Amino acid sequence: MSHSPIKIQLPLSEETARSLVAGDVVSLSGVMYSARDAVHKKLCELLDAGEPLPIEIDGQTIYYMGPSPTKPGNVIGSAGPTTSYRMDAYAPTLIAIGLKGMVGKGERGSNVVEAMKKHGAVYFAATGGAAALIARSIKEAEVVAFPELGPEAIRRLVVEDFEVIVAQDSHGGNLYKEGVEKFKEAV
């Protein structure tokens, strides 16, 4: 098994998203957006009302992150992942309009998995507890929508060599389940 990461330039195409399998180590470079549950709810409300979204979703990757305050001289504060299941009620709607990548921590629900399979999206896990290290991969961070949400506002992030692992893929592969099975076999 190769440990050198698969290098991907964002935004993600459906072809690239579908080419990834659970367990792949990936290095993302380019633009992604940060958004958590409050933003997801607002985005879905805008869609329901037929209103335009403040960012283009098609081909994008969303990082489920709320940064800590930025220290002087830094681009962003600690930038660790948040628990992804809080976005599960909204993610299928965004996947259906073109969201291709999601980054967070923890397993996704069956509704998200079905949307990923249907529309060719991928879920990446970032390492919880490594927020300061992750922040080093973020070269630019700018609030682009919902500034009233403070740390939960949508940020446009320019990332370089942002390492993640494919946790759940568009084929139903699930590292959370497969990892447990491999551990059981080894014991």
Q: How many CA atoms, within 13 angstroms, populate the side-chain half-sphere of residue 41?
A: 7
CA gyration radius, the chain:
16
The single-letter DSSP state of residue 137 is T
The gap from C-alpha 21 to its chain's centroid, in whole angstroms, comes to 15
Q: How many CB atoms lie within 10 A of CB 183?
A: 9
Closest CA to 32 of 130, 148, 161: 161
Structure tokens at 147: 């500034």
3-state SS, residue 63: strand
Which residues are known catalytic residues?
Answer: 40
Tell me which amino acid residue 86 is: R
Q: Which two three-digit tokens encode residue 171?
A: 């084929």
Burial string for 62-79 (b: 16+ CB within 10 Å, else e) reads bbbbbbeeeeeeebbbbb
